[in-house]
């Protein structure tokens, strides 16, 4: 590769989960420390970071088409870095297949991006997919993000090895960031303007640490501590695993006002044979019982989940068990996917791979149920009053958008600004959002 002009502007394009969005922000902060500025909307960047996701087929294929399409107005290529989970899983292949890529950096190594950039300028291509556990967070710059909502990674990696999933391979073993670092980062985020913080982890409720007195703490205890941060009004967390739930976290939903009444708890299937083949180590029944405990302490809690249809060997009757589970839970929103064989995972070579047509049909039927419940949830909200944290402008002048405590999008007309917490009456339900009427601006 030829030496390249040092980039003046960058753009990070993040795909996949919220963890990737968080990582993308932190890579941006690293580049900003080197004096590189974010490219403006519509402007071509000198350096493009593709922060990729490997969870399903299309996500990985997209990387190569994106690399092919990246061009500056003069026809030259920007400097390209591939980061994220495809980088981790297919680093060498990317270097071979895409000669225009200068840097490949895995999710646990991106704190080294500035050094790699220096090499790239000299014309040296660099790959770093090491997994040095916690080192990354220690060498990242301080948070400067200005937004009313922020992500905070508390836990990373996964030891669960669900048989369909690449995450344990791309993100490595479960690690928890230290309690004090998290409390400190939360203060920094609030100083920078955050009023809502979403705690992130591939298995966020597996977070384990020690509080400042040295006592063992889990996510419930951490949430209680973060709730003491003045100016932090709302706490959320995602994504949880049913097997890592403990009493303290459930209890926090009943006692911590700042913890929002929303739980994203993936189940994947409502059939025990399929769950076992997925290596989920919970049953449909144990999952339902767990949800009951949340509803007991927080009756209005909104529930969300993830589903996979067409796991190898899934019969029609087994699929229908998933529909029955949905009928029991009544999710407020949920995510559902066709099974996608991921290279290197046990399920990819299992017998009984389900034809695309069958998966398509099952997904449509499953999504019809989920849509039905989402609409019903939104309709049941009509007449309620709630606080909305204003996140952005709506389409029309004077219109604003924000989130209810239950994570539904609410739009309303007001003389407001981003970051306001306003009291709204919910007046009309749509499929994906609810219209509200301003009652009063809450105290800033």
Residues that bind ligand F3S (CB under 6 A): 16-17, 19-20, 53-55, 84-85, 166-167, 170-171, 202
Q: Which stretch binds ligand SF4 (CB under 6 A): 160-168, 327-335, 367-375, 431-439?
A: 160-168
Asked whether the CA dihedral 130, 132, 133, 135 is positive or negative, the reply is: negative
Q: Look at residue 339 and give the partner it binds from ligand SAH, ligand SF4, ligand F3S, none, a contact being a CB closer than 5 to 8 Å depending on partner kind.
A: ligand SAH
Residue partners of 367: CB distance under 8 A and separation at least 6: 336
Site string for ligand SAH, 200-239 (x = CB under 6 A): --xx-----------------------------------x
Least gap, CB of 134 to ligand F3S (angstroms): 17
Q: What stretch of H or E contains 176?
A: strand 175-176
Smallest separation, CB 165 to ligand SAH (Å) = 4
- Contact between 322 and ligand SAH by CB under 6 A: the answer reads no
* CA–CA distance, 416 with 394 (Å, rounded to integer): 11
Q: Which of 87, 165, 326, 347 binds ligand SF4 (CB under 6 A)?
A: 165
Instruction: Check residue 221 and give left, alpha or beta (phi > 0: left; psi -120 to 50: alpha).
Output: alpha
Contact between 206 and ligand SF4 (CB under 6 A)? Answer: no
Alpha carbon of 211 to those of 220, 221, 233: distances in Å?
12, 8, 21
340 binds, among ligand SF4, ligand F3S, ligand SAH, none (CB under 5 to 8 A by kind): ligand SAH
Contact 268, 280 (CB under 8 A): yes
Does residue 337 bind ligand SF4 (CB under 6 A)? no
| Residue 378 contacts which entry, ligand SF4, ligand SAH, ligand F3S, none (Cβ below 5-8 A, type-dependent) | none
Binding partner of residue 168 among ligand SF4, ligand F3S, ligand SAH, none, CB cut-off 5 to 8 Å per kind: ligand SF4
- Tell me, by CB under 6 A, how many residues bind ligand SF4: 10
Minimal distance in Å, beta carbon 51 to ligand F3S? 8
Q: Return contacts of 16-19, CB within 8 angstroms, 24+ apart.
A: 16/51, 16/52, 16/53, 16/54, 16/55, 16/59, 16/84, 16/85, 17/53, 17/55, 17/202, 17/239, 18/151, 18/198, 18/200, 18/238, 19/107, 19/151, 19/153, 19/156, 19/171, 19/200, 19/201, 19/202
Alpha carbon 165 to chain centroid, angstroms: 16
Q: What is the total residue count of the chain?
A: 444
Contacting residue, 165, 326, 424, 434, with ligand SAH by CB under 6 A? 165
Tokens linked to 354: 């389900």
* 342 counts as binding ligand SF4 under rule CB under 6 A: no
* Subset of residues 231 to 270 that bind ligand SF4, contact rule: CB under 6 A: 241
CB of 276 to ligand SAH, least distance (A): 16
Q: Which stretches of the chain bind ligand SF4, using CB under 6 A?
A: 158, 160-162, 165, 167-168, 202-203, 241
């Amino acid at each position: 590769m030829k030496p390249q002009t040092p980039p003046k502007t960058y753009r990070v394009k993040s795909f996949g989960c919220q963890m990737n969005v968080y990582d993308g922000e932190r890579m941006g902060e690293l580049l900003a420390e080197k004096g590189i500025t974010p490219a403006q909307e519509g402007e071509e960047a000198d350096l493009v970071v593709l922060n990729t996701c490997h969870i399903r087929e299309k996500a990985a294929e997209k990387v190569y088409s994106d690399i092919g399409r990246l061009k500056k107005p003069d026809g030259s290529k920007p400097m390209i870095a591939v980061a994220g989970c495809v980088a981790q899983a297919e680093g060498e292949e990317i270097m071979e297949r895409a000669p225009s890529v200068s840097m490949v950096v895995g999710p646990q190594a991106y704190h080294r991006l500035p050094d790699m950039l220096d090499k790239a300028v000299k014309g040296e291509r660099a790959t770093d997919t090491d997994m040095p556990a916690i080192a990354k967070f220690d060498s990242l710059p301080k948070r400067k993000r200005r937004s009313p909502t922020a992500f905070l990674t508390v836990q990373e990696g996964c030891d669960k090895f669900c048989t369909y999933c690449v995450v344990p391979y791309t993100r490595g073993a479960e690690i928890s960031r230290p309690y004090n670092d998290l409390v400190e980062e939360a203060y920094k985020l609030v100083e920078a303007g955050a009023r809502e913080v979403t705690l992130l982890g591939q298995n966020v409720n597996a977070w384990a640490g020690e509080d400042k007195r040295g006592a063992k703490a889990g996510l419930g205890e951490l949430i209680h501590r973060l709730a003491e941060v003045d100016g932090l009004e709302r706490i959320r967390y995602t994504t949880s695993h049913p097997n890592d739930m403990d009493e303290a976290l459930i209890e926090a939903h009943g006692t911590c006002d700042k913890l929002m009444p929303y739980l994203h708890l993936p189940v994947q299937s409502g059939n025990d044979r399929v769950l076992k083949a997925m290596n989920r180590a919970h049953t449909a029944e144990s999952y339902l019982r767990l949800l009951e405990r949340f509803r007991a302490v927080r009756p209005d809690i909104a529930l969300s989940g993830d589903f996979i249809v067409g796991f190898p060997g899934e019969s029609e009757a087994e699929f229908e068990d998933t529909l029955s589970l949905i009928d029991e839970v009544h999710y407020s929103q949920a995510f559902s996917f066709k099974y996608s064989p991921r290279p290197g995972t046990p399920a990819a070579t299992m017998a009984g791979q389900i034809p695309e047509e069958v998966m398509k049909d099952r997904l449509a039927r499953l999504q019809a149920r989920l849509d039905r419940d989402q609409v019903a949830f939104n309709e049941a909200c009509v007449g309620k009053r709630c606080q909305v944290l204003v996140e952005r402008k709506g389409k029309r002048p004077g219109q604003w958008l924000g989130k209810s405590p239950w994570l539904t999008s609410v739009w309303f007309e007001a003389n407001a600004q981003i970051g306001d917490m306003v009291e709204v009456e919910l007046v009309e339900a749509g499929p994906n959002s609810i219209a509200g009427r301003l009652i009063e601006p809450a105290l800033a």
